[in-house]
Amino acid sequence: LTTGNDPSLSPDGTQVAFTRGGGENGIYLINVDGSNERKIFGERELLRSPKWSPDGRWLVFSRGDEFNKCYLDEDTGECLRFTPFFTEGLETGKDHVRKLARVDTNGDNYRDLAVVPEAFAPDWGNGGIVYQSAAGLQITQDTPEDNNRLLYFEIRRQYHQDPDWQPGSGGRIIFQQRQGSHYEIFAINTDGGGLTALTRPATALVDQLPSNVSPAWSPDGQSIVFLSNRTAENEAGAWRLWVMNADGSNQRPLPITVPLDYGYALEQMVDWGP
């Protein structure tokens, strides 16, 4: 289609949202046939991981900003200071953080969302917006009020990344989590219970354990596509696209031979549309 990062298919399957950097910072849309590419939002900030709302009207994304930025109160005209929501006792020690915002598909009606520091990789489900943060997986809502809540955090394994909310009325969220020298894919209920490992090493008797990353639900919520660098010998090799059932069964590689390069940099590598 084009060049860019973080592809996200619209719910109706007609458009792809993506980002660019390197002097072309912003959020872009393009039709799936490659036509009508346009930038809808962004200037100098590095924007990442756009995801569609279930109704296809909005895009949520991660952005960098300063704590002391002010925003215009449309009712009073006053420039108010934006104070991000903090988890109690959490200190970042930074002047710049990542946070979440949303715009409509024209790039208008911007709103910052209530999040904890270092908010990355959002996904918008019917029950809210799930994202990763410095304090674990969190869920927030598209409202001006502070309604952020913790979904999952394990102090011994602080790399809970790239969450994806099951479509429809599904109550499961999938994500990748670091397991020592490699990553595996897990699922969890939206109330924080039912943590389940969907992938695991077939053997520990290899020089380097493979990783399974970047999970995304199928539109019907019955299957999961993901990246894996496992080989036939169950050790780390080249990255390929794989698919599995929602419960982790029937894992198999897809017959796609396009070279893939995954850099463990919170990339949104794959999305599954209708």
20/99 same-domain check? yes
Boundary-marking domain end, from 98, 132, 147: 147
23/46 same-domain check? yes
Q: What percent of the chain has pLDDT over 70?
A: 86
143/163 same-domain check? no
Q: Which residues pair with 242 in a beta bridge?
A: 226, 253
240/188 same-domain check? yes
For 236-251, write each residue's pLDDT tens digit.
999 999 999 999 999 9
The boundaries of the domain holding residue 105 are 1-147
Say which range, 22-36, 84-98, 224-238, has the weakest mean pLDDT.
84-98
176/115 same-domain check? no
136/8 same-domain check? yes
Confidence of residue 66 (pLDDT cuts 50, 70, 90): very low
Decide: 151 and 130 in contact? Cβ < 8 Å: yes
114/171 same-domain check? no
Confidence of residue 204 (pLDDT cuts 50, 70, 90): confident
143/160 same-domain check? no
160/143 same-domain check? no
Look over the chain and give the mean of its residue pLDDT values, rounded to a whole number: 86
Handedness of CA 274, 211, 6, 131 (dihedral sign): positive
Decide: 59 and 53 in contact? Cβ < 8 Å: yes
DSSP tag of 82: P
For 109-154, write each residue's pLDDT tens digit.
999 999 998 899 999 999 999 999 988 999 999 987 878 999 988 7
61/124 same-domain check? yes
What is the domain-level CATH number for residue 125?
2.120.10.30
186/228 same-domain check? yes
HEC string for 85-130: CCCCCCCCCCCEEEEEEEEECCCCCCEECCCCCCCEEEEEECCEEE
Burial of 46 (0-12, 13-18, 19+ CB in 10 A): middle
**CA distances in angstroms from 243 to 77, 78, 250, listed in the order given:** 51, 51, 8
Residue among 190, 160, 189 at smallest CA distance from 175: 160
Residue among 45, 61, 42 at smallest CA distance from 53: 61
The backbone region for 244, taken as left when phi is positive above 0, alpha when psi lies in -120 to 50, beta otherwise, is beta
> How many domains does the chain contain in total?
2
Confidence of residue 96 (pLDDT cuts 50, 70, 90): low
- H helices present in the chain, as ranges: none
Boundary-marking domain end, from 147, 179, 207: 147
23/126 same-domain check? yes
Boundary-marking domain end, from 82, 113, 147: 147
